[in-house]
């Protein structure tokens, strides 16, 4: 099925971040998932994207369990039935869809395994739209180089996540995008917060007037909260560059707020 995440894709060695918990690695075309079988969600995903050959393919694929992992270790269709939860792609459907049309179709179809999903509150707003388009903004920024990026994404599997149908619904998600700049490895970290939208007390319904919130955050802070070892990514953080002095976490209102 798979070749998995390529740590040499950027021309700079860049392994997958390493979670503190024991995980099962599952490789797919151009991306990998480190599955936490206790929480039943990915602790880390990593995908490589060649923006120069990225294809805009029609959506095709059906959500399904991965037969390589026990069903009990995956959050399957029962989690998303008759409620206000969407199956949120961790590795975006479009991201591994590059190269030949055949390879791209196989790769995008592979993003529909439940190992690559996590529950996100139904609905949409500007902040969630910004979150879903972060890779596109980084790719556009990287056009002056070779348009290759690596993206790592997962839920923050926190102890305070509310219980629901045998799982705990993640309240926050993290994403780190990395690329090769003229001076070496560069990276930016982001957090999506859906805390205000998740209420499991009444069968999980999205409260009215609630909203997703998207932030740019220091990669070191993300690593500490998600309990992952990010290796060289923390030192490559664009927020750590000389002359960049944001006040820690920055809430993003639109793409113009992103520091790259």
- Of 30, 39, 40, 89, the catalytic one is 89
Give the separation between CA 198 and CA 162, rounded to whole angstroms. 8
Q: CA 15 to CA 10: how far, in whole Å?
A: 11
Non-local (6+) Cβ contacts of 253 within 8 A are 126, 127
CA distance 135 to 130: 10
Verify whether residue 89 is a known catalytic residue. Answer: yes
CB-count exposure of residue 197 (10 Å: 0-12, 13-18, 19+): buried
- CA-wise closest residue to 169 among 199, 211, 132, 134: 199
Half-sphere exposure of 227 (CA within 13 A, CB side): 12
Which residues are paired to 175 by β-bridges? 153, 190
Q: How far apart are CA 177 and CA 97, in angstroms?
A: 17
**Phi, psi dihedrals of residue 225, rounded to the nearest 5°:** -70, -40
> Is 83 labelled a binding residue?
no
| Binding residue numbers | 125
Active-site residues, by number, are: 89
| Binding residue numbers for Mg(2+) | 125
């Amino acid at each position: 099925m798979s070749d998995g995440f390529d740590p040499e894709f950027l021309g700079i060695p860049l392994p997958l971040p390493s979670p503190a918990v024991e995980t099962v690695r599952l490789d797919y075309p151009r991306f990998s998932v480190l599955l936490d079988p206790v929480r039943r969600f990915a602790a880390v995903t990593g995908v490589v994207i060649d923006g120069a050959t990225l294809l805009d393919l029609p959506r095709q694929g059906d959500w399904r369990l991965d037969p390589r992992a026990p069903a009990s270790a995956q959050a399957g269709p029962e989690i998303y039935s008759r409620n206000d939860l969407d199956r949120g792609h961790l590795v975006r459907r479009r991201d591994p869809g590059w190269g030949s049309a055949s390879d791209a179709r196989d790769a995008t179809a592979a993003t529909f395994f439940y190992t690559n999903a996590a529950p996100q509150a139904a609905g949409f707003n500007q902040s969630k739209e910004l979150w879903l388009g972060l890779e596109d903004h980084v790719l556009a920024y990287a056009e002056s180089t070779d348009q290759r990026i690596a993206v790592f994404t997962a839920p923050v599997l926190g102890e305070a996540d509310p219980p629901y149908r045998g799982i705990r619904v993640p309240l926050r998600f993290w994403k780190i995008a990395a690329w090769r700049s003229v001076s070496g490895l560069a990276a930016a970290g982001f957090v999506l917060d859906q805390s205000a939208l998740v209420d499991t007390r009444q069968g999980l319904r999205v409260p009215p007037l609630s909203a997703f919130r998207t932030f740019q955050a220091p990669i070191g802070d993300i690593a500490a909260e998600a309990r992952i070892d990010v290796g060289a990514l923390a030192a490559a953080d664009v927020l750590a560059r000389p002359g960049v002095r944001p006040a820690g976490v920055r809430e993003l209102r639109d793409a113009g707020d992103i520091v790259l």
